[in-house]
Copies of this chain bind each other. A is one copy, B any other.
């Protein structure tokens, strides 16, 4: 039984005018306060055609200050959008902190439509809705306020409205074949919507059901809800009681705290590495050339087939990430890859969720993107140095797994390298750098500071490897005391996985 909104109570024209006058002033005031807030407001509209989604959004723009609202409506993806994971186009449009973004026909539209028209089965639909719920939770955990309106209209009223629009020459253009096609699937759409509402209703991203049959009623309900919810949230923030990070339970079954590995009695992964592995110079030269040649060939094949590759490099300071990246890069055509060095975020990036700055770098089809440090900073440096709160970095494991699974579903091949060296080897390299004039710039005070926290980083690395190694994107630990050995291992495993990734295509 689909959920039903409160039935519309007719509002007289006179009452409506008086209420709107007051509401507009309040909305503008709320909007002004919001500009200085540290959270964004994301507004979604769903519901059958004719229920007044477009009209209501237009009214909101008219009543509020259109400079601080941006509305995006999604239809067919552009070719640049199609070449990235499905959610890329929503990420690029997410409002920064302090602003309102209205997204029409965003992430619900596709799944609901596909399920209503039986393109996807219920099980698949449920899986998609669960992914959406996780995505919304990721945003609300970061502080976002998500308002979701489901505009309802009963079947007969919808048909009558579409027909009335068609009769009027001034509004005829608004009724398309697509709308009649949708109207024929009314029952299936309403049922799919009901299931979406049930599975994605959350405290910070709750659904408001609105009866769309009366224009004045629905306008007042939506505007009042917005004013009320945003004001409430601003008040909470002002009182310092922002409900954040309530969902840090995720995955905590697997790792209740950062000391997870320690409690298991071992810093398992790193300790198990055989750090005395080496390769002799003669073998290295031969194998390097072979591995680079193979990688070149495979990546050209990937380019032709539109298969993208994402490579993540993490590792201790002076572990040799840069050298390994250069050996990979020099096997490729400069036009086909990009190295993204990850340093402090820009202010545009700081105004968004921490994953936003990585989404924006996802490449078009067939290219390789190499991250020199990555989103794993959240569970490494941010965890160890306290830049992220415990609830923030704890839930990041699940968020990251979700992020990567979206890349994988899109066909992206992911590789994640932890380049490892022993503490003694690091000291040797630091000292060497200090002595070499042209390498001195590479050594900073921060490197020495990080070194003092070796143990804490070791725990963090171990949790990271445990919690984010998935079948399709496992961590590859690279024994890096011998640079040549490390470079070879990187090139060879990269070739192996790319080759495997291409087989599946």
- A residues in contact (CB < 8 Å) with B: 25, 28-29, 32, 54, 57-58, 60-62, 65-68, 70-73, 78-80, 102, 104, 173, 300, 322, 325-326, 329-330, 333-335, 338-341, 346-348, 364, 372, 438, 441
Contact = CB atoms under 8 A, between A and B. Distances in A.
A326 B61 CA distance: 8
Given A173-B300, A372-B67, A32 B441 contact: yes
Contacts of A340: 67
A337 B104 CA distance: 14
Q: How many copies does the complex hold?
A: 2
A234 to B, nearest CB: 15
22 contacts: A32-B441, A54-B333, A54-B335, A57-B334, A58-B333, A60-B334, A61-B334, A62-B326, A62-B329, A67-B322, A67-B341, A68-B341, A71-B334, A72-B335, A78-B78, A78-B80, A104-B335, A173-B300, A346-B346, A346-B347, A346-B348, A347-B348
B335 A71 contact: yes
Contacts of A173: 300
Contacts of A73: 335
A323 to B, nearest CB: 11
B29 A325 contact: no
Nearest to A83: B78
Contacts of A68: 341
A67 B438 contact: no
- 8 closest cross-chain pairs (CB), A and B: A73-B335, A62-B330, A67-B341, A71-B334, A66-B329, A61-B334, A57-B334, A66-B339
Contacts of A57: 334-335
A372 B68 CA distance: 11
Contacts of A60: 334
Given A334-B57, A346-B346, A441-B32, A322 B78 contact: no
Contacts of A438: 25, 28-29
A92 to B, nearest CB: 11
A98 B262 CA distance: 43
A493 B348 CA distance: 36
A269 to B, nearest CB: 27
Contacts of A67: 322, 325, 339-341, 372
